Chain A
């Protein structure tokens, strides 16, 4: 099947504390229409930077230094900035973590929803409003007809995230990047929104890049998992294969620990220590200092790739031997 998005050996370098250092390295994955790829990992491992690189919206000081981002068969990195910008919204939609701030506080929601359509063609006020209504009905905002003129602050967090999803999907993109879309919401709202996304995905054959901390959501909502640690891939595979035979000690630890929110960041409470900062990224396995299965080779050489395309891991001393 044709891929919607394929990331090849992506590397992003950034300035942190006045020095340039690699933020993500060697990131490679494919995403097909109608499928969901979950990217998981602790805070700071580079999930959002990966998403920002795909969108072409890296923070100032960050650049892609290697690799390819192939969207619709063309390398986005070789496109002029203007054309890449035009892919946003049209081919890629994005929703982010904090729905409370994701909408413009001083525009009524119908105007925000219809904004991209209005930039493309002149619409009468009546058509614009009825189209906005349709877009908002699609994301199941209740009593939409009477709420078109409401401002974002008049909606709950869950409703605002639905509106944000309507904005992202307004032009029927092929790919949705959802960067922790439900982390800030309560469990019931979270389930409702994820189920709605699943329904939209089936209706429109949408590919979803689902970034999350929470492995418990992955089994239910994703087809593939991509586990990151300190800017690199540690394990990747289809949900069924990977959960059936977890190979990497980090994935193993992730599965056993429930992420706890300490301050604004999630921490893995069952593993000692904290992930290294980009300044101290090494050539060897970056998880070595926290790994319960660490052996001499770990910190000396980069971990080898084990397994095959449907389940791979990068590890010197895995829990399971993966068939090549």
Chain B
């Protein structure tokens, strides 16, 4: 089971790398123009083509592309004047920090809210939660972001409206809170809706009645029995939310001026910095595949039945 999922992940990876390769070659005028800009002189283009091996057949270039990837050579940003691989390091770290915080927030609140919703499914509280989920799921990230900035930074003056603060310590934490909450809200709403539905289904099953008939308290039944069964499909769902995390991240990082990958993606798109753009695309793709794989592996560790199949 796990080996099959590993194979699928590897295959998606090859597919991703290939797609990004063709994406670069499909840019108008070829990669040299996209690197040097549309107004580059023919001499400069020819020189770059020679230097990068772009005058060779496509199949050879494809092989070179893979070789470069393995060496971590992702090209040179002529806008930032730095090798893309060196550029990405810091930005990736910041994005991972923000995204992991947001994901943890979203997952924890989804579990909590979902269990409450499942338990109160037929009652008013369950319906109120259902309404709130739709609301938060539908609100655009930039709207939530601006609203939070207005309330917590401008009105109350509790938290900074953007930036990253000093590295490490309280200042960085304080700068993280608003973007993390902004990013977590719609994702948490989606996840909790899914998990609430899952918990509700579990609550209807006979083993819950068995546990109650044995005199177990509602809280015990919830965490020992219901949570355990409802959480397995949920983990896969969390894996599937990772792309939404990156997409939401682009908007959140732009709104909060938080220099992570999403912010860089936005800047590079404005600057037509194609090497950086394709490198970020590749990186986000890889992180997505890795996230899904991690969810599947975690799931199969929890789900004994997967191992028996």
Contact = CB atoms under 8 A, between A and B. Distances in A.
Interface in A145-200: 151, 153, 164, 167-168, 170
B213, B217, B304 — which one has the most chain A CB atoms within 10 A of its CB? B213
Q: Which 3 A-B pairs have the closest CB atoms?
A: A89-B215, A88-B215, A101-B206
A119 B217 CA distance: 11
Contacts of B215: 85-90, 116
Contact of A94 (B213, B225, B229): B213
Interface residues of A, number: 31
B213 A168 contact: yes
Contact of B207 (A60, A94, A104, A153): A104
A104 B303 CA distance: 13
13 contacts: A55-B213, A88-B213, A88-B215, A89-B213, A94-B210, A96-B210, A101-B206, A102-B206, A104-B225, A104-B229, A106-B232, A119-B220, A168-B213
Nearest to B210: A102
Contacts of B217: 85
A115 interface: yes
Contact of A105 (B207, B216, B224): B207
A271 interface: no
Given A89-B213, A116-B215, A151-B305, A102 B122 contact: no
B81 interface: no
A105 B212 contact: no
Interface string B197-211: 000000001110111
A170 B213 CA distance: 12
B155 interface: no
Given A60-B122, A102-B206, A167 B214 contact: yes
Contact of A104 (B212, B228, B232, B305): B228
A98 B278 CA distance: 56
Interface residues of B, number: 23
A93 B209 CA distance: 12
B214 A168 contact: yes
A142 interface: no
A123 interface: no
Nearest to A97: B206
A324 interface: no
Contacts of A151: 304-305
A312 B228 CA distance: 49
B123 interface: yes
A101 B210 CA distance: 9
Contacts of B210: 94, 96, 102-104, 164, 167
B213 A106 contact: no
Interface string B137-181: 000000000000000000000000000000000000000000000
A106 B229 contact: yes
A57 interface: yes
B206 A98 contact: yes
A18 interface: no
Contact of B123 (A60, A96, A116): A60
Interface in B234-254: none
A61 interface: yes
A228 B48 CA distance: 91
Contacts of B206: 96, 98, 101-102
B305 A153 contact: yes
Given A104-B228, A105-B229, A115 B304 contact: no
Nearest to A96: B206
Given A57-B209, A88-B214, 4 more contacts: A57-B213, A96-B206, A104-B228, A106-B304
B209 A96 contact: yes
B303 to A, nearest CB: 7
Interface string B113-149: 0000000001100000000000000000000000000
Nearest to B206: A101
A93 to B, nearest CB: 7
A57 B206 CA distance: 13
A153 B308 CA distance: 11
B229 A116 contact: no
Contacts of A86: 215
Contacts of B303: 106
B65 to A, nearest CB: 45
Contacts of A101: 205-207
Contacts of A170: 214
A103 B209 contact: no
A170 B303 CA distance: 27
A61 B303 CA distance: 35
Contacts of A164: 210
A259 B300 CA distance: 44
A236 to B, nearest CB: 25
Interface string B90-124: 00000000000000000000000000000000110
Contacts of A90: 215
B122, B207, B224 — which one has the most chain A CB atoms within 10 A of its CB? B207
B117 to A, nearest CB: 14
Nearest to A108: B304
